[in-house]
Amino acid sequence: MAARDRQKTKALSFSERLTRRLALRRRKWTSGVWHIRQSHIFILPNRYGFYAGFLVLASFAMGYKVQNNFILLGVIFLFLVFMLSLIASVRNIQGLKIDVHIEPYYFAGQMHHIRLSLRKDQPAFNLKLSGPMGDMVLDLSKSATSLLVPVGKLPRGVHEVPPIKIETLFPFGIARAWSWLRPPGDMVVAPMPREQAIAAYPRGNPAMAQKAEQKRQQNNVADELGDLRDYADSDPPARIDWKRYAATRETMVRDHGLDAQGEMILRQPKGDLENSLSYLSGGLLVAERIGAPARMTLQGADYQVYDKPAREKAYYALART
């Protein structure tokens, strides 16, 4: 799988490697919306641009030698087309505003994405995004777009978002203009979760459960019908909401009373580190699914997980261990 992923990644040219180093060293996108300015853009003629430049020079030499004004006028026209193409390429990217959304945490073993939202006061054409997993065509004909950008399957840990290049060949395809993006923030990749049946996790401390219930009610996140969730193979059939099934044909399970059993106790098992981290990660995922609080013990430290910020902190600890 890793070999196939490397094959998808296109090797950067010398100019791309040099401009990426210069861009990431000079300009830092720390927060908010990134606004591409003229100073952020690099431009070079491509292969066809070099052909056009050679044609201009050759035509000028021939026109000068034979003293033919019509040839010289043609040379001037070609030169203007070449220069206007360079200007139009820069203007096609200049003024682009980019916002990024990174999930609070990801899980190892999955393809990871970030969401980019792009907008511009005027429509832009012939744009593409180049990232670790290849090229993606951008449709900014309506001045705005939003898309998920794959960044690969990252291992457990905290990673920086890899640089992303936005490029255009507009309007004639004889010059390319590009700019480098380094979205701010880190990607927290938690261990691959290894889930078990709900009954396999010990419970305790009902007071903690009451606190979690109060939190959910304050945030209006409880289901109106009483903490309904999708049916899992490990659930007994007696807990299926048969009235809802008869009305909607949806197999749902009620979790009323689970929190009264107390918080879910997650202790780091002995043995292989990655397996123990996967067990804790799976336990947190199960607790989140049933809406139960959890207490996780990791390398002697306790994490009380009863809301979203605490859960993100626990996953961050698992990723950094």
**Where exactly are the structural domains of the chain?**
2-45+92-185, 198-320
CB 59 within 8 A of CB 75: yes
- Identity of the residue numbered 228: L
**Structure confidence at residue 258 (pLDDT):** 43
**Helices 69-93 + 47-66 axis angle, to 10:** 160
Residue 58, classified by CB atoms within 10 Å of its CB into exposed (0-12), middle (13-18) or buried (19+), is exposed
d(CA 187, CA 157): 8
Question: Looking at the whole model, is its pTM more than 0.95?
Answer: no
- Please report, for residues 47, 69, 72, 169, 294, the alpha-carbon distance to residue 80 in angstroms, rounded to integers and kept in the order given: 18, 16, 12, 17, 68
Instruction: Report the alpha-carbon angle 40-134-50, nearest 5.
Output: 60
Residue 177, classified by CB atoms within 10 Å of its CB into exposed (0-12), middle (13-18) or buried (19+), is buried
Residue ranges in the chain modelled with pLDDT below 50:
1-9, 220-226, 256-260
Pairing status of strand 294-298 against strand 263-267: parallel
Q: Note the maximum CA span of the chain.
A: 98
Instruction: Report the alpha-carbon angle 311-316-321, nearest 5.
Output: 130
CB 185 within 8 A of CB 161: yes
**Structure confidence at residue 215 (pLDDT):** 55
What's the token pair of residue 220? 């209006």
Residue 319, classified by CB atoms within 10 Å of its CB into exposed (0-12), middle (13-18) or buried (19+), is buried
d(CA 227, CA 256): 6
**Helices 273-290 + 308-320 axis angle, to 10:** 170
d(CA 280, CA 270): 12
Residue 192: name the closest of 124, 123, 262, 281 by CA. Answer: 281
